[in-house]
Amino acid sequence: MLAKKPLKVEDIMKLLCRIAEEREKGSLKPAVGGMIGHMVGGRHGATVGEAIGALLGTWMVSGEFKPIPQTIMELPPDKKQKLYNEAMTILKDLEWRDTEHLTTLVMGSADLKKELLAILEKLCTKALRWE
């Protein structure tokens, strides 16, 4: 049995940044747009949402949009703590030696990445609604 090394808030922020970077390489923008479109317009809204995602991509290129990892690292301490708490709810049953081991476990698990990405997509959705 492994002893869990306590994680700092910044450790989890770095892990979430790594997941976001990997996802951004696969383009999170259309996925977020599709998700928003689906919430607003149902199944047919997802297509419109993907178009919105493409527009977000254009906006990102224009320099007005921050990458998700940058947004995560610039969150105020109370928001980071909330994000940390949500992530730890997902990770609580894992056993790890240290931060590197936890990162390896998470990056090797499509299910864990998907669950953690859901937290980040919720963060993005809130940012798009200016909350």
Q: Is residue 103 part of a domain?
A: yes
Residue 1 forms part of a structural domain: no
- φ, ψ at 29 (rounded to 5°): -55, -50
pLDDT at 131: 41
Predicted confidence (pLDDT) per residue in 37-53, tens digit? 555 555 555 555 555 55
Among 107, 101, 73, smallest CA distance to 5 is for: 101
Determine the structural domain holding residue 38 and report its residue range. 9-128
Mean pLDDT on 48-61: 56
pLDDT at 106: 94
What percent of the chain is helix, strand and coil (3-state, nearest 5)? Answer: 75, 0, 25
At residue 64, the pLDDT reads 54
For residues 15 and 102, the answer to whether their CB atoms sit within 8 Å is: yes
Assigned domain for 3 exists: no
Mean pLDDT of 13-34: 72
Tokens of 121: 């997509």
73-117 residue pLDDT tens: 888 999 899 999 999 999 988 888 888 999 999 999 999 999 999
Whether residue 65 lies inside any domain: the answer is yes
Asked if residue 46 lies in contact with residue 38, where contact means CB atoms within 8 angstroms, the answer is yes
User: What token pair was written down for 62?
Assistant: 């224009």
pTM given for the model: 0.65
Decide if 75 is inside a domain.
yes
Domain count along the chain? 1
| Average pLDDT across the chain, whole number | 75
| 47 found inside a domain | yes
Residue carrying structure tokens 């306590």 = 6
Domain assignment of residue 4, yes or no:
no
* 9-25 and 28-61 helices, crossing angle to 10°: 80
CB 115 within 8 A of CB 124: no
